[in-house]
């Protein structure tokens, strides 16, 4: 076809403009799949390493692909017997990276590249991990769904009818392992704590082997959650009694089968006698007897048992007391390769809880903190909530179990108690979404967990600063990058968890969520056919004379599970920190707070502050548009709109509901509710957002 000149010129101009637009759009698009490991143009570096192994090969590759130091520099990688290095610790010198383990050299390589990217000194630097085992718990099911998963389906499982391993599977698992290695995570539990006995079926174990083979070259060991009734449910035995010889024989055979496939298999994670899961108590045995049976079987293979302390029944008058009541009397009865896995708080990953009283109370037993990276109770993948501040708050809390300074961190990392093993776990927020975590800022929580697992003394400000600088790179044309982007985004992240507490459950309120999906408010939710400790009124105890759960000595006495002087501080309404006031006290509506306001007015103010904080986040992010690629900017902007609407729903729902008991007005200076209570009680909170955050909530 021959075009006439005038038309041809316009066409060419238009075509050129379209190409330019497409080029700019593609250049500024970023689906977040690279996480904090964005690529940079490397300079040349000479690596000297006498040993050869898959882990060391990956360390060399990372350094060659990402070197930002002096061009042509020479770097030695060497395993050393330096006694100042512990576990996978490493030492960076100007001339090389040294560690007692090959994995430590890989971690040192990532640390060196991180320091180069952040323009920090890469001279002498020594780093030892706080915990020996730094593990992600995946709540993934064999059918590919994820319990409390908000970022797509499982990266490990697609269903038992599709167990073939593809090249895409291997590539994804390697990317996952690399991301974990970059932040020091060295273990992965591949399946849900609510485990199917089918997990241990031979065909599924073959896939476990394939996954383990992909993770191993990055120093990530594989673990499995097991169902305690597997000998009967899968093996066909008449019982799963841990003291029965046939049961013990079955577990021995199964362990041998696993270790033949995965020689470096890490061990088992067990949820027993909790929320309907089977356990040793079904046979009149204790948690110690059940855990020790598995521990004895795994001992010859250097395997461990991570035994969860998340237990509660409907018979105790205070659910917050139950884990301590069951496990404290068993202290000293567990084998040294058993680690008791304790949630950060005594209830269930709430936006704010006091630390579990089990930390420090178990003095003869290895104890590991369990944090929740996935945002089950914090807006799923719709809300921007940086969880590092929550975990830091827990780790730095003083238990006083061995005097002042007995922090949760020091009680669990071997600093105070002689633990055979030290460990920390995080419930993963990872799925098949292109950005891994459903929300671009939720990647920061994966990153933060790894960094705190490696060094539990790190501050959240440092972690946020690292993640922002590693994840978002300034364009060459960017002006005022430091003050226009880094500072406001870091401030937003550091305030985000407190904002979430303010607009959902301030002043110690907890577990007042809507129904089973734990999204949005539901302080009114109390069906007659549901056990009382699964309903919000059990926790908030709102009535005409006040609100809050009385856990003082005159109430359930959960304060008695804490050491002095903390127990007395929490017991006294005047000295109890106001952030935990309604957790430990039933407080009159007219009680005078430190601000001079009544409790009711303070509650109203907190909810109002929370809503306004999120609105401010919207402004901060909108101003960041010039610094961020179009894809991630639009994604976060959209999610902040959802979060702001949700904050309003939380504020209106809770205040209008509690107002029925307080009989007091909402202070006139605060913004009025925009929803009717009856309307909020009649709808699923997800219907108000138009933004489902995962498949689980629809069940």
Rounded Cα gap, residues 240 and 232, in angstroms: 6
Adjacent-strand bridge partners of 559 = none
Residues 6+ apart with CB under 8 A from 196: 141, 142, 227
Is 376 marked active-site? yes
- Alpha helix stretches (DSSP H) within 285-387: 287-298, 322-327
Residues 6+ apart with CB under 8 A from 612: none
Rounded Cα gap, residues 373 and 429, in angstroms: 6
* Inter-residue contact 673 to 658 (CB < 8 Å): no
482 DSSP assignment: I
> What is the helix (H) or strand (E) element at residue 500, kind and residue range?
helix 487-504
Residues 6+ apart with CB under 8 A from 128: 85, 86, 87, 89
Residue for token pair 């496990």: 327
Rounded Cα gap, residues 555 and 557, in angstroms: 5
Catalytic-labelled residue, pool 376, 392, 398, 652: 376
For residue 621, CA distances in Å to 100, 309, 431, 572, 617 come to: 44, 40, 25, 42, 6
Catalytic-labelled residue, pool 318, 348, 601, 696: 348
* Inter-residue contact 466 to 458 (CB < 8 Å): no
* Inter-residue contact 503 to 647 (CB < 8 Å): yes
Rounded Cα gap, residues 174 and 167, in angstroms: 11
The torsion angles phi and psi of 288, rounded to 5 degrees, stand at: -65, -40
Pairing of strands 73-79, 45-48: parallel
Is 348 marked active-site? yes
Catalytic-labelled residue, pool 46, 264, 275, 590: 275
- Alpha helix stretches (DSSP H) within 28-53: none
Strand, helix or coil for residue 275: coil
Distance from the Cα of residue 164 to its chain's centroid:
29
Compute, in degrees rounded to 10, the torsion defined by CA atoms 354, 358, 359, 363: 160
Adjacent-strand bridge partners of 592 = 598
What size, in residues, is the chain?
Answer: 699
* Inter-residue contact 513 to 520 (CB < 8 Å): yes
Neighbours of 25 (CB within 10 A): 12
Distance from the Cα of residue 66 to its chain's centroid:
28
Rounded Cα gap, residues 322 and 94, in angstroms: 52
User: Which strands sit side by side in the sheet containing 90-93, from one edge to the other?
Assistant: 45-48, 73-79, 96-99, 90-93, 125-127
Catalytically active residues are 275, 348, 376
């Amino acid at each position: 076809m021959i075009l006439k000149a005038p038309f041809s010129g316009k066409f060419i101009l238009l075509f050129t403009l379209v190409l330019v637009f497409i080029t700019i759009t593609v250049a500024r698009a970023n689906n977040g799949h690279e996480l904090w490991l964005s690529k940079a143009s490397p300079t040349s570096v000479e690596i000297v390493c006498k040993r050869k192994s898959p882990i060391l090969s990956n360390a060399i590759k990372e350094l060659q692909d990402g070197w930002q130091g002096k061009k042509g520099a020479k770097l030695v990688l060497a395993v050393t017997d330096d006694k100042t290095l512990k576990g996978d610790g490493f030492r960076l010198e100007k001339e090389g990276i040294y560690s007692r383990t090959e994995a430590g050299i890989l971690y040192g390589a990532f640390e060196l590249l991180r320091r180069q990217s952040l323009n920090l000194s890469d001279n002498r630097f020594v780093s030892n991990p706080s915990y020996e085992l730094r593990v992600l718990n995946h709540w993934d099911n064999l059918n590919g769904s994820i319990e409390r998963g908000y970022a797509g389906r499982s990266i490990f499982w697609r269903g038992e009818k599709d167990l073939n391993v593809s090249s895409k599977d291997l590539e994804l698992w390697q990317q996952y392992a690399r991301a974990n290695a970059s932040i020091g995570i060295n273990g992965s539990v591949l399946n849900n704590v609510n485990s199917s006995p089918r997990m241990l079926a031979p065909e599924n174990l073959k896939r476990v082997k394939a996954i383990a083979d992909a993770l191993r070259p990055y120093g990530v060991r594989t673990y499995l959650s097991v169902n305690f009734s597997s000998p009967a449910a899968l093996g066909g035995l008449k019982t799963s009694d841990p003291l029965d010889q046939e049961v013990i024989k079955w577990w021995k055979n199964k362990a041998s089968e696993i270790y033949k496939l995965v020689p470096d298999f890490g061990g088992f994670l067990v949820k027993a006698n909790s929320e309907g899961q089977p356990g040793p108590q079904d046979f009149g045995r204790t948690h110690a007897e059940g855990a020790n049976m598995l521990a004895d079987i795994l001992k010859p293979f250097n395997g461990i048992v991570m035994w969860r302390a998340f237990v509660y029944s409907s018979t105790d008058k205070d659910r917050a007391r139950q884990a301590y009541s069951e496990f404290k009397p068993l202290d000293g009865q567990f084998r040294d390769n058993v680690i008791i896995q304790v949630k950060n708080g005594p209830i269930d990953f709430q936006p704010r809880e006091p630390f579990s009283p089990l930390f420090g109370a178990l003095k003869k037993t290895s104890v590991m903190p369990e944090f929740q990276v996935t945002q089950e109770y914090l807006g799923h993948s719709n809300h921007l909530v940086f969880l590092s501040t929550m975990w830091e708050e827990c780790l730095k809390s003083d238990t006083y179990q061995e005097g002042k300074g007995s922090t949760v961190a020091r009680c669990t990392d071997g600093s105070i108690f002689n633990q055979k093993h030290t460990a920390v776990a995080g419930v993963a927020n990872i799925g098949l979404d292109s950005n891994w975590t459903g929300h671009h800022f939720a990647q920061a929580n994966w990153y933060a967990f790894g960094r705190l697992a490696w060094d539990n003394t790190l501050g959240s400000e440092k972690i946020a600063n690292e993640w922002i600088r590693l994840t978002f790179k300034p364009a060459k044309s960017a002006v005022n990058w430091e003050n226009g982007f880094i500072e406001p985004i870091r401030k937003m992240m550091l305030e985000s968890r407190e904002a979430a507490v303010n607009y959902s459950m301030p002043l110690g309120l907890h577990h007042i969520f809507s129904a089973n999906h734990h999204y949005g408010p539901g302080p009114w939710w109390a069906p007659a056919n549901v056990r009382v400790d699964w309903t919000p009124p059990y926790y908030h105890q709102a009535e005409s004379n006040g609100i809050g759960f009385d856990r003082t000595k005159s109430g359930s006495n959960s304060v008695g599970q804490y050491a002095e002087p903390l127990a007395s501080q929490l017991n006294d309404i005047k000295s109890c920190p106001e952030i935990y006031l309604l957790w430990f006290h039933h407080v009159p509506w007219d009680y005078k707070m430190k601000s001079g306001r009544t409790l009711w007015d303070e509650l109203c103010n907190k909810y109002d502050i929370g809503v306004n904080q999120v609105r401010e986040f919207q402004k901060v992010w909108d101003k960041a548009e010039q610094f961020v690629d179009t894809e991630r900017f639009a994604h976060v902007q959209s999610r902040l709109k959802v979060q702001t609407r949700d904050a309003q729903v939380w504020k209106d729902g809770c205040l209008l509901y509690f107002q029925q008991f307080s009989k007091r007005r909402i202070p006139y200076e605060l913004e009025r509710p925009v929803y009717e209570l009856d309307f909020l009680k009649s709808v699923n909170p997800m219907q108000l957002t138009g933004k489902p955050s995962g498949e689980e909530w629809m069940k």
